[in-house]
Structure formats: C-alpha cells, structure tokens
Amino acid sequence: MSEPRTYQVRTYGCQMNVHDSERLTGLLEDAGYVAAAEGEYGDVVVFNTCAVRENADNKLYGNLGHLASVKAKRPGMQIAVGGCLAQKDRSTITEKAPWVDVVFGTHNIGSLPVLLERARSLEEAQVEILESLEVFPSTLPTKRESAYAAWVSISVGCNNTCTFCIVPALRGKEKDRRPGEILAEIEALVAEGVAEVTLLGQNVNTYGVEFGDRLAFGKLLRACGEIEGLERVRFTSPHPAAFTDDVIAAMAETPNVMPQLHMPLQSGSDKVLRDMKRSYRQERYLGIIERVRAAIPDASISTDIIIGFPGETEEDFLETLKVVREARFSGAYTFQYSKRPGTPAAVLEDQVPADVVKDRYERLVALADQIAWDENKAIVGHSVELMVAEGQGRKDVATHRLTGRARDNRLVHFSPVAADGAVLDVRPGDMVEVVVTYAAPHHLVADGPVGSVRRTRAGDAWEARTAGPRGVSLGLPTLGVPAQLPEATACR
C-alpha cells in the first residue's frame, strides 16, 4: 500500500479563519491525508488567507513564490489557496502563480478534498468561488487544536458597511445558526472534555437578526449556563451599536459567562465614526462601558482602535485618547490605517500622512499600555483562578513557569509548585488558584505557591489527546483565547 498523502495548513488572520482551518484539517484527515511532520512541507500545502491585514497579498505571493521551487522538485505536490484573499482575487491567483492547483473561497471550504482530487486527475488548476454560503460550515468535519477549548460559530457574515472593511463583501450577509444546533454542538464538545467555548460571529451580538429575535444572543448566553460541565463561555466580537442591556444582564447573571468583554471602539471621534459608518457615537460607547462595569465590577474590557483614518485631525485623535482614559481598557489592539482596495475608505480624500499616523500611533500605544499596566498592578496580591494553558510562555522556558488564563482572560505565568516546594502535577485544562505577585502591561506573574489544584475532565481530555506524561506541557497551540489573535479584530 502507498503511504498516505501529507498536508500542511497555514492560517492567517482572524479567529474565524483559525476555526475554518480546523475544519479544513478535519476535511483532509477525513479524506485520508495525514499531517506533515513539523518543519516539513506536506504533499498538500493549504493557505487560508486574510484580506484585512496590510500587505496580505504581498505576503501570500511571497510564500507562493518560495514554494514554486519546492514544488518543482516534488512531483505530485499540490498548493491550495482559500480564505478571504482567495474570495477577493479569484482567478488572479492562478494568473500570478500558475503553479497553484486549487483556489477556493470562504463559502465552499467543504469542496477542498474534491477540488484537490480533480486537479490531480485533470492536471489543471481548479478555481471554485461561490457567491453565498450553501451549507453552514459547522456541519463539516473538524480537527480541533485544543482538547479543552473550542471555537463555536454562531453566525457567519456581516450586515454592516464600515468603510474601512472588506469583510462583508467576502463573507457575505449574516447567516445565523439555530440555537438548538449551537447548543447541541456545545454539549457534544463538553462530552468530549471541552471546558471552555468561545462563541464566534463577525458581529456576534447581532445573532438572531436572520430569524427575527433581537434578544437571541442574551438568551443563548443564558442557555450556555445550563450546560453541565461547561466551565467558561466567552464571545467575540460584539458591535457597540447592537450591544443591549439584556446581554449585560445575561453576562452578569450566568456564572460560566466570563467577566470579559472585547468591544471594538475603532475611534473616539464622532466625526471619524460617522465617516467610518460606525453606527454609534462616543457617548453610547462609554455608556455601555459604564453599565457593564456597574453590573460586573471585575470585568476586563479590551478594544480595537484604528489610527489615521482619512480625515482624522489632531482633535479627532485627542477624542480617542479621551475615551481610552475614561474606559481604562485592560488591553487595546491598535492599528495604523492602511488602504484596502475595494473599500470605500480607500478612495477618500485627505489621507493622513504616514509620519503623522506613526506619531499618533506611538502616543496611543504609550497611553494604552500605561493604563493596562496600572489596571494589572491593581491585581497584585489578589487570588485568581486560572485555566492552565498549553505550552510555556516564551520568556518562561528557563523559569519553568506555566501559563494560564484568568476568568477575565488576563494572561498569567505561574510557578506550579506547592507550599513545600514540590512540583505539582497540573495539566492543560486543569484549574489552579494562585496569588498574583507581579504585573506587566500585558501579563501577570504568580511566583508564590499554588493555592489549590482542581483536576478536570478537560485535563483528562488533554492527557488522552497527547498521550504524554502527566504534568508535562507539550507546547501545543492554545485556542479558545481571542486575545491571542489581535489582527483578528481589525475588521469588526
């Protein structure tokens, strides 16, 4: 018998792309492919692309150019390109890189194995781009990277028309799954050992618009609270214009919904928000923050901000700084505006000079980091519950610290030792109580003894998945944590 063909999936961009790549991986394995060894090229290399980030196309074609020589030396190797950039560029990809075998869009990721086989049989490139979603991707096979945390899509697409964003044109209008289907998927995940789910949607809190229930998202959060064994629920990303008080109440009153909110601001200037076609203003945004903090005092709130949108003045920028000071974000993902071909903002006059954008960006980052640091310092000396994550922090290999996420999603590096100095047997997915001893702008450290360890079914699932020694992290990637993918939220 011949050896099975191997694959490699390379993912760029948002959480939705990461989740789509889990499905692509599941599809390939369902079709008999096996993952290529780390550091090796697969017989099939799949690029799941992003069209939001600056120079996304240059990055793709640079990678494709590198693979051209590799493919020339490996008969039978195939290259596939999918995702948002594929949806946008379509046949342009095979014109610029004729060695690409398959191009598929955001609406037909389930076609990949068939397209690969067809390209191999016919010995010619296959390009298939659908204009709308025919089958919700959740029905496809999925290979999750994490044993204890999972993404769950509740909707795809977007009904907004933000002038800086091309995503609605590439992902289509919003399509919502039925609540029963979502809850059934979550229950199945929990049965497999998953303890944390992150609900995904381009605008997650507009969920229900397709079937006419504007309170559907809050109801869904409360329903998640009824699922036995589901310890943590997160969601990303909501839109301020659609953020309603029933969602705040559901967050406050549902114990397993985490005290964390990532809500994109984009700009603090009403004028710039108007030019962006963001259908809220500064007062409304700050009002939401105030009501969330009144209902959930320990909530951490993070955001996205774009600096240098066309026409932004110094006065507009100062309004953004004002909101950052008042909102006191635990983290802010900041972006320098850059033109995206195909978006209305790309042709606006009064583009802000690059040096001005850079100066404002640096001032914003300095302020946001200082506030995040101050907020983190307030937690020093406090006990926090962590879900242990996979892998050590990059700076903690020498110290043997492990990493976990607090309920409010803050990243905490901790020493897995007991009061007597013994090294504790903790696994990804287990829960530990630690006391924070040090704060940095983007993480916390807990170097004292661990207060308690709760072994969980999620930890059992991780152990069964890895078949490795107990208490040893194998360094697998961690999913279920939106904050780890900052570029993901630039389009919200």
CATH number at residue 423: 2.40.50
Q: Give me the pLDDT at residue 266, please.
A: 97
CATH number for the domain harbouring residue 63: 3.40.50.12160
Which CATH number is 236's domain given? 3.30.750.210
Q: What is the pLDDT of residue 482?
A: 32
- Our count of domains for the chain comes to 3
> Is 369 contained in some domain?
no
Pair 171, 164: CB distance under 8 Å: no
Instruction: Please give the pLDDT value at position 480.
Output: 33
CA distance 180 to 3: 41
Pick from 184, 183, 247, 168: nearest CA to 214: 247
Tens of pLDDT, residue by residue, the chain (492 residues): 578 999 999 988 778 888 888 999 999 999 999 999 988 899 999 999 887 766 677 788 899 999 999 999 999 999 999 988 888 888 889 999 999 999 998 888 889 999 999 999 999 999 998 877 766 777 788 888 899 999 999 998 889 989 998 777 777 889 999 999 999 999 999 999 999 999 999 899 999 999 999 999 999 999 999 999 999 999 999 999 999 999 999 999 999 999 999 999 999 999 999 999 999 999 999 999 999 999 999 999 999 999 999 999 999 999 999 999 999 999 999 999 988 877 899 888 899 999 999 999 999 999 999 999 999 999 999 999 999 998 765 555 556 899 999 999 999 999 999 999 999 999 999 999 999 999 999 999 999 999 999 999 999 999 998 874 433 333 333 333 333 333 444 455
Judge whether 82 lies within some domain. Answer: yes
Residue 296 lies in a domain: no
pLDDT confidence of residue 477: 32
Q: Are residues 111 and 163 in the same domain?
A: no
Q: Which of 226, 258, 290 is at the close of a domain?
A: 258
Instruction: Tell me if 236 is assigned to some domain.
Output: yes
Establish if 408 belongs to a structural domain: yes
Answer yes or no: do 252 and 149 share one domain: yes
Is residue 391 domain-shared with residue 467, that is, in the same domain? yes
Q: Which domain holds residue 120?
A: 6-128
Q: 100 and 148, same structural domain?
A: no
Q: What is the C-alpha separation between 424 and 106, in angstroms, rounded?
A: 44
Inside any domain, residue 309: no
Q: Is residue 96 part of a domain?
A: yes
Among 79, 103, 128, the domain-final residue is 128
Q: How far is residue 477's CA from residue 21's CA, in Å, rounded to a whole number?
A: 13
Residues 60 and 154 in one domain: no
pLDDT for residue 67: 94
**Are residues 154 and 51 located together in one domain of the fold?**
no
- Contacting residues for 325 by C-beta, under 8 A, at least 6 apart: 367, 371
Q: What is the pTM of this model?
A: 0.85
In a domain, 168, yes or no: yes
From 258, 288, 315, the end of a domain falls on 258
